[in-house]
Structure 1
């Protein structure tokens, strides 16, 4: 197999460079907040570096970012710190709201304190999943989906139309995926409800379905090169040509496409799931006023939303953000109508049931 020649230093610097197209300082001066710091747990590239520096300069608030790579790990860390967390803002996916809310780890979001709330597309800010118990719980910032990404020099478009290819002998040792996310997709592949909403009144059936998915992934374990956690790890494996295809979020895949890497992504015919990332304020946040100042500033303009898309590859929830993207960037964040017809959104109603079963199953797969 011939290695693709790619300037890795140039690629790894792309995300940092895309942060320059931000709002003018005037947007940020609106915060007018005094204080020392705001502590944020979030994914790589969700806080553009140029925005961070400008916010710090204009408000005097130091932004401390701690990178996370898994919702379950973040939940466990926050729960361990309760009721006095060290974090002010964290990034929670909309479909996991209930787990955090029921454990009293999030504070209801006071949108009256966010003058820029109206800059979010109401498709996201006013959707059913965004309101729970009559409250908003997070500011939607980026949306995305789980896709099958593949090196177009090594894998055909026809092969990529099915998740089965990810588990084929042909690509043994050339695949990678996030186990927890693949559990939902495997359930979907087998004709089940990966959200587990259909089994809320039948926990025994839910347990049997999770067990079936777990045994499938254990059986297929000899085929996978690596279980990974972060989008950056997936990108590096692709760039190094350690893998030919893998399950990924569309964001990291889009970033590779925009850098010129021979990558494509699909929503396979068996289906997949979409999700929305939100910025949330921790219950008893130590710097709540600064947290609101940060949220209002980062919602200030479509340019900021576009910069987040450029850096992360995920789709901005901001009105007008696409106007600040290139044609290639728009292309890398869109899918055909046929593919979108195969997409479902993660739902939260059965999360306690689902993740109570899935999280232990993931550990069992790793240990097998």
Structure 2
């Protein structure tokens, strides 16, 4: 395999600079007067653009403490361990995992009277059925995305990338990577099952059987995988370093590579995949609720900020009119052909307690195998 001509240092620096255009007072015109204190945020890499963070701190006097997370299950366990007095104010929860956090009494419903920037969110996301539970809004949608098969287009063909089978093929053994927990749902879909497990709510024995099948499949194919990874930045680094040539990925990290000029393609394979929405949520009994709402109103304040989040993360902004601040290449890296979109389902939460009660132990078993 020929080494790609790509300066990794250039890649990292250009990616990090994606939010630099935010440094203008116009973007934080809704920010409150200096009030001081701090706000503690658990979120994914690049979900708080650095330029926005710096300007927010300058204009409000509120120190922003960001703790990066890479897994919803770990975040849930950490928050549950801290309850009822968490150290975090705002966290990033995927919409399909709301119920797990809500049923465990870990989140506070949003006070929309205090969230003056709510109207800046596209109602496709803010008013969709998954976003309202027990008559309350529990999260402010910020970014949406999907699970894709990403591949080095100088090595893997577009035709090969039309099926998840290629990820587990002998041809690319040792050149692939994926997030185990996410792949469990996709493997169930590959096997013809409902990866959301909603169809098996009344048949827990069937659900356990399906998870066992998916677990055994991943254990059998474990010798072929280069690495089980946790976060998008790790996936990007493996691709740039040519440690891997294909892998399961969120579309955000893949899009960021495409926008930097890396020869990457991504598909929603014919067996199907899942989409999701990330939201900002307020922890129940959070230590700095006033600063949390100040932060949310500021980061939801304009489509430019939404575009900066897309540029930095590669995920699709939920903000109204944010796409007008993207280049043609950036727009292209966040879209898919209609025939592939037809293969997409959205994660659902109705069966989450049963699903993750089975999946989380299975993930640990795969790691230990």
TM-score by length of 1: 0.99
SS of structure 1 residue aligned to 2:144: strand
RMSD of aligned residue pairs (Cα, Å): 0.9
Matches within 5 A, 1:25-104: 25-32=25-32, 34-104=35-105
SS of structure 2 residue aligned to 1:13: helix
Matches within 5 A, 1:176-187: 176-187=177-188
Structure 1 residue 14: Cα displacement: 2.1
Partner of 1:255: 256
Tell me how far apart the structure 1 counterparts of residues 152 and 30 of structure 2 sit (CA, whole Å): 45
Tell me how far apart the structure 2 counterparts of residues 44 and 26 of structure 1 sit (CA, whole Å): 25
Partner of 2:215: 214
How many aligned residue pairs are there?
368
Tell me how far apart the structure 1 counterparts of residues 349 and 22 of structure 2 sit (CA, whole Å): 33
Partner of 1:163: 164
SS of structure 2 residue aligned to 1:353: helix
- The answer to whether the 8 A contact 1:23-1:301 is kept is no
- The answer to whether the 8 A contact 2:106-2:284 is kept is yes
Partner of 1:19: 19
Tell me how far apart the structure 2 counterparts of residues 163 and 50 of structure 1 sit (CA, whole Å): 38
- The answer to whether the 8 A contact 2:27-2:305 is kept is no
Partner of 2:325: 324
The C-alpha deviation readout for 1:298-326, integer Å capped at 9, x for no partner, is 00100000000000000000000000000
Structure 2 unaligned regions, length at least 5: none
Tell me how far apart the structure 2 counterparts of residues 271 and 6 of structure 1 sit (CA, whole Å): 32
Matches within 5 A, 1:1-368: 1-22=1-22, 24-32=24-32, 34-368=35-369
Structure 1 unaligned regions, length at least 5: none
Tell me how far apart the structure 1 counterparts of residues 66 and 253 of structure 2 sit (CA, whole Å): 19
- The answer to whether the 8 A contact 1:23-1:303 is kept is no
Tell me how far apart the structure 2 counterparts of residues 350 and 26 of structure 1 sit (CA, whole Å): 43
The C-alpha deviation readout for 1:260-313, integer Å capped at 9, x for no partner, is 000000000000000000000000000010000000000010000000000000
Structure 1 residue 15: Cα displacement: 2.6
Structure 1 residue 5: Cα displacement: 2.1
Tell me how far apart the structure 2 counterparts of residues 44 and 193 of structure 1 sit (CA, whole Å): 30
The C-alpha deviation readout for 1:21-49, integer Å capped at 9, x for no partner, is 22742442423162310000000000000
- The answer to whether the 8 A contact 1:29-1:59 is kept is no
SS of structure 1 residue aligned to 2:22: coil
Structure 1 residue 111: Cα displacement: 1.3
SS of structure 2 residue aligned to 1:150: strand
Tell me how far apart the structure 1 counterparts of residues 249 and 98 of structure 2 sit (CA, whole Å): 22
SS of structure 1 residue aligned to 2:113: helix
The C-alpha deviation readout for 1:97-155, integer Å capped at 9, x for no partner, is 00000001100001111111100000000000000000000100000000000000100
Tell me how far apart the structure 2 counterparts of residues 78 and 114 of structure 1 sit (CA, whole Å): 23
Tell me how far apart the structure 2 counterparts of residues 31 and 71 of structure 1 sit (CA, whole Å): 30
SS of structure 2 residue aligned to 1:51: helix
Tell me how far apart the structure 1 counterparts of residues 354 and 36 of structure 2 sit (CA, whole Å): 41
Structure 1 residue 239: Cα displacement: 0.3
Ranges of 4+ aligned residues in structure 1 off by more than 3 Å: none
